[in-house]
Amino acid sequence: MKRKHTTKIIASLLLMLMVSSCTVIRPGNIAFKQRLGKLKRAELKPGPHLYNPFVTRVLKINVRTVEIYEVLPLPTKEGLSVKTEITLLYHVDPSKADDVYIHFGMNYEEVIVKSNFLATAREISSRFYAKELYAIEREKVEKAIAEQLREHLEPHGFVVDAVLLKDIILPPAMLQAIQNKVVAEQAALQMEFVIQKQKKEAERLAIESEGIKKSQLILDSSITPELLQYYQVQVLKELVNSPNAKVIIMNGNGNTPAIINTDK
């Protein structure tokens, strides 16, 4: 009975040893073996792997895109501090995963990524006014932070995917002032549009008036006494041929005759 109990204990210990000697490398992770403190740079492929837990460690580094979300006060150009929700998306370069571990250890996110992210965000935001962060230059701020982070992090084996300013919370008084200014600017633009429209209409009327004036001058210059007399003769012909009875009074000086319709 005692021997049977000992066998069970040994079997349990062997099972625990086997479980502790096996690890699974999942997709999205880069893994290396570290034996007696010496790192083997040969990358372990995804799947199960056996190792000696007494002398060997299996180091797993996540190479998927990771999100760092922070709510922090950012300084502005005018010396204010605005509460900001900001996110960094980054991942470890798979080809440099072993260097990341050698230089920064497994706590690389706190050691280099996060510290650079916070410092860079504060530095870039101090170049802009609060209203620019809030409404105008948000994309420019995101781009500037991302570009500077790439300069700091990519040489060390990190890839910056994006920086996002999710929300900027301004003091109520400043927010109201910005909104009032936006409304005033919109009103000024509307007034400028109306003025420009009126100027265009005035120019159109002036051009139309000038055209009418030129047409009248051309018409006046083309009408001669002979032409008028010709039209008078034509009118008299039509009157003579008309079946209606008429009295035509001529004054003999070539002026337009007076015509009296005698039909009742």
Separation CA 75–CA 124 (nearest Å) = 9
pLDDT, one tens digit per residue, over 84-117 is 899 999 999 988 988 888 889 889 999 999 999 9
All residues at 6 or more sequence positions from 85 whose CB lies less than 8 Å from its CB, including other chains: 69, 70, 71, 165, 166, 167, 168, 169
CA distance 71 to 60: 29
Considering the domain boundaries, does residue 9 fall inside one? no
174-227 pLDDT, tens digit per residue, is 666 666 776 677 777 777 777 888 888 878 777 877 777 777 776 666 666 666
Domain that holds residue 243: 225-261
Instruction: Quote the Cα angle for 256-260-261, to 5°.
Output: 130
Q: Which two tokens stand for residue 9?
A: 């204990």
| Residues contacting residue 163 through CB under 8 Å, at least 6 positions apart | 86, 87, 88, 89, 121, 142, 143, 145, 146, 149
Inside any domain, residue 214: yes
Q: Is the residue at 6 inside a domain?
A: no
Same domain membership, residue 157 and residue 76: yes
Domain assignment present for residue 37? The answer is yes
Confidence of residue 17 (pLDDT cuts 50, 70, 90): very low
pTM as predicted = 0.58
- Judgement on whether residues 124 and 140 belong to the same structural domain of the protein: yes
Q: Which amino acid is at 99?
A: D
E strand or H helix that includes residue 7: helix 2-20
For residues 192 and 108, membership in a common domain is answered with: no
Residue 120, Cβ neighbours under 10 Å: how many?
A: 21
Structural domain total, the chain = 4
Q: Are residues 94 and 110 in the same domain?
A: yes
